[in-house]
């Protein structure tokens, strides 16, 4: 692989240390190695990573529950932001959800996370509600968003 090539692919066990590095850089309560190993055994879980310049630069995951895709995490390492990788991860999750015939997708995002909110809105996720005080670390509200996967999505 050319070092500047961008590859989007399924999570593999060797990727976990790179993902933990991203978690630690992005979130106040990062998921552990153990949590990701458990996710790899979880038959409902789908995780995608973005690899470039010899590094895991971004990743995202979701659980496919009946006809719904519940996004669990999306994160881009701070040194790889604003290069379209967050969008690539989201597009990969949408594509996987469509392959598994999900009808809709959902996620929660901190009210203050305007960057992520802009990304999700630009991909037709719509705000449907608020979970007050959802985040334990600072009591922040979560915004709940949904995206319907229409017939047109399946034709793309
Ligand atoms: C949110 C996040 C995933 C975006 O990743 P990214 O790779 O930097 O985003 P992209 O370059 O793909 O940009 C996608 C869109 O996000 C928005 N965006 C990204 N960076 C932005 C910034 N600094 N200011 C405003 N909007 C921004 C824009 O809408 C952008 O679309 P555009 O390029 O057409 O303007 C990244 O900032 C991140 O990992 N944040 C920390 C973890 C996190 O908050 N995850 C989401 C939890 S719900």
Percent of the chain with pLDDT over 70: 96
The residue contributing the CA closest to ligand 1 atom 42 is 75
Cα separations in angstroms, 3 against 15, 19, 21, 51, 140 = 17, 19, 20, 9, 39
From 3.40.50.720, 3.40.30.10, 3.40.630.30, 3.20.20.140, which CATH number describes the 7-155 domain?
A: 3.40.630.30
Percent of the chain with pLDDT over 90: 93
Average pLDDT, the chain: 95
- Please give the helix or strand (H or E) that residue 153 lies within, else none: helix 151-155
Q: Are 114 and 128 in contact (CB under 8 A)?
A: no
Q: Are 107 and 69 in contact (CB under 8 A)?
A: no
Substitution site in 23, 62, 82 for ligand 1 pocket (most atoms within 8 Å of beta carbon): 82
Which residue, among 53, 110, 65, 115, has the nearest Cα to 90 in the 3D structure? 115
How many Å apart are CA 132 and CA 118, to the nearest integer? Answer: 20
Query: What is the reported pTM?
Result: 0.96
Each domain of the chain, given as residue ranges in start order, spans 7-155
How many Å apart are CA 99 and CA 46, to the nearest integer? Answer: 12
Q: State the CB neighbour count (10 A cutoff) for residue 103.
A: 15
Q: Does the structure show a pLDDT above 70 at 154? A: no
Kindly report, residue by residue over 93-150, the tens digit of the pLDDT.
Answer: 999 999 999 999 999 999 999 999 999 999 999 999 999 999 999 999 999 999 999 7
- The predicted pLDDT at position 4 comes to 83
The residue contributing the CA closest to ligand 1 atom 13 is 84
- The predicted pLDDT at position 149 comes to 95
Substitution site in 115, 116, 121, 127 for ligand 1 pocket (most atoms within 8 Å of beta carbon): 115
């Amino acid at each position: 692989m050319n070092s500047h090539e961008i590859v989007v692919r399924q999570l593999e066990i060797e990727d976990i240390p790179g993902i933990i590095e991203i978690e630690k850089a992005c979130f106040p309560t990062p998921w552990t190695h153990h949590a990701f190993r458990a996710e790899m055994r979880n038959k409902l879980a789908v995780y995608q990573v973005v690899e470039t310049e010899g590094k895991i630069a971004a990743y995202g995951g979701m659980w496919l529950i009946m006809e719904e895709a519940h996004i669990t995490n999306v994160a881009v390492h701070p040194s790889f932001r604003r290069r379209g990788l967050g969008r690539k991860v989201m597009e990969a999750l949408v594509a996987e959800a469509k392959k598994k015939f999900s009808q809709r997708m959902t996620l929660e995002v901190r009210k203050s996370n305007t960057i992520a909110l802009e990304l999700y809105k630009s991909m037709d996720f719509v705000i449907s509600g608020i979970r007050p005080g959802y985040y334990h670390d600072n009591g922040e509200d979560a915004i709940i968003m949904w995206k319907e996967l229409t017939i047109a999505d399946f034709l793309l």
